[in-house]
Amino acid sequence: MQSFDTITPLARAAVPDASTRFAPELVLWEDAIPGGAHWSGRVNRGTTLRFTDTHGAANLSALFFNFELMSERYNMPDTVKAQHTAFLTRGHALYSDMGRVLCSIPEDSCGWHDTVCGLLDATRSQAKYGEARYQEHRNAMHRNGRDGMLIELGKWGLGKRDLIANVNFFSKAVADEDGVLRFDAAHRQPGQYVDLRFEMDALVVLSAAQHPLDPTPTYDPKPVQVTAWRSGTAGADDVCRHSCAENGRGFINTERWFL
Amino acid sequence: MPIQIVESSLAPSQAVLDQVCAAGEPWMGRVAKGQVLRITDLEGNQAVDALFYNAADPSERYSLTHTIQARGALYLGMGTQIMSSEGRPLLTIVADTCGRHDTLGGACACESNTVRYALEKRYMHSCRDNFLTAIARDAASLTPSGLTKRDIVSNINFFMNVPVTPQGKLSFEDGISAPGKYVEMRAEMDVVVLVSNCPQLNNPCNAYNPTPVRFLVWDA
């Protein structure tokens, strides 16, 4: 069975010996996404996005696409079944539907990021929080995850057919033995952060709208700090590469795309 | 929701469609609003990967996140509304003698098989290959303008057992289905059904033995 030890010397030479730890001098740019707002952009291979929940109650909905071929996209089932996990944290890889790692999580102070609950949409937002239009509320108008994602997808020529099961960073929903889901806010703390290291050039689509199961009774989405820093890709010693044999193979698939 | 077993009163002799789908094959068909579709696990513990589309506009399609949100729970069973990406019910499960169905496990594919099992296992037959065969062959005649890979989204796995623990662990377990178990659903709009009768041999989703399933459709 092929592994990192049996791929060719040329393939192995393309992988850094070690992964890079964060340092302030590696920062490329920083931005704060206001609560409820949406963003999308190109994030290149070797860049890490550090998301920080500054207030301790944020939700960041996210989707990822291979920038070179956007029909290749984040695939939740391939991600959860390869790693035998229903949530994401340090050591996990976010897989595309083509067996490649779009990004991975080498650092996470939060411990659980949801990837099964989907997006808050206009219908559910209206039912939970009522209506707040631009006319009366200007930029404090109510925003929801689905509409925010569709706006950003549209900017790249994508649309409803590309809206698939997303990640919800900083949110935790626990299933009991009957599969009934309960939002768990106990883990939330101001300052929690998660690093997403990009192993491929990616289109990243984000919405900081509330989680669909957020029990907060009011419309109150929180901001997320985004810090882009130059990390390089996963080293030969990397925690995500080694967290399971499956990921070892996933990284080989990914690195092969760039050989 | 606790497992609920509910039998159907419909007689196969009254069905307007009765087809067996061999192990490892795709199946694609149209079910009109009000019709009832039954999928029978003939030999037990077969995974049936299924997708549903609004026949008039397939950009509206099965959504696992809408289904999970509507139910407030991860597993599908009796009474489940199989929800679309527009937040509307595509079908409703009206009878179920298996009790629990999955929607987190997705479909197998050559590419994910290289990750899950071995790089060398890329060439084994897979559900995604089935989906692509079916849409290349049949989608043009069943939908207004055909389907592409963008339309292949994460599916339901009827009869498959993928429990999630409160600690967030997920595993493919031996199935809880058995020979003759079935799940029956009523179409709430005209739908196109895309199925792969899963050929996976590397995990217990098919009890390591892919087997045929039977499709029955009754008029409203």
The predicted-structure confidence for A205-241, as pLDDT tens digits, reads as follows 999 999 999 999 999 999 999 999 999 999 999 999 9
- Is A165 in contact with B65 (Cβ distance < 8 A)? yes
pLDDT of residue B175: 85
Burial of B28 (0-12, 13-18, 19+ CB in 10 A): buried
Distance from CA of A136 to the nearest CA of B (A): 28
Extract the residue ranges of chain A whose pLDDT is less than 70: none
For position B172, what pLDDT does the model report? Answer: 85
Which residues on B lie below 8 Å from A1 (Cβ)?
118-120
Of B12, B40, B29, B15, the residue nearest B218 (C-alpha): B15
Touching check for B8 and chain A: CB below 8 Å? no
Closest CA to A244 of A15, A7, A79: A79
What is the reported pLDDT for B77? 97
What the block records as the tokens of B211 is: 């087997």
Give pLDDT, residue A142.
98
B-proximal residues of A, 80-99, CB under 8 Å: 80-82, 84-87, 95, 97-99
Q: Concatenated DSSP letters for A215-226?
A: --SS-----EEE
User: To the nearest whole percent, how much of chain A has pLDDT over 70?
Assistant: 100
Each domain of chain B, given as residue ranges in start order, spans 21-218
Interface pTM (ipTM) of the complex?
A: 0.97
CB of A243 within 8 Å of any CB in chain B?
Answer: no
Residue A50 CA to residue A22 CA, distance in Å, equals 10
Q: According to the model, what pLDDT value does residue B119 have?
A: 97
b/e map of A98-109 (b: 16 or more CB within 10 Å)? bbbbbbbbbbbe
What's the pLDDT score for residue B207?
Answer: 86
For residue A136, what pLDDT is reported? 97
| Helices assigned H by DSSP within A155-258 | 239-242, 245-257
Per-residue pLDDT of chain B (220 residues; tens, 9 = 90+): 789 999 999 999 999 999 999 999 999 999 999 999 999 999 999 999 999 999 999 999 999 999 999 999 999 999 999 999 999 999 999 999 999 999 999 999 999 999 999 999 999 999 999 999 999 999 999 999 999 999 999 999 999 999 999 999 998 888 899 999 999 999 999 999 999 999 999 988 888 999 999 999 999 9
Nearest CB to A118: which of B65, B150, B168?
A: B65
Query: What is the distance between the alpha carbons of residues A87 and A95, in angstroms, rounded to a whole number?
Result: 13
Do the Cβ atoms of B154 and A164 come closer than 8 Å? yes
pLDDT for residue A226: 98
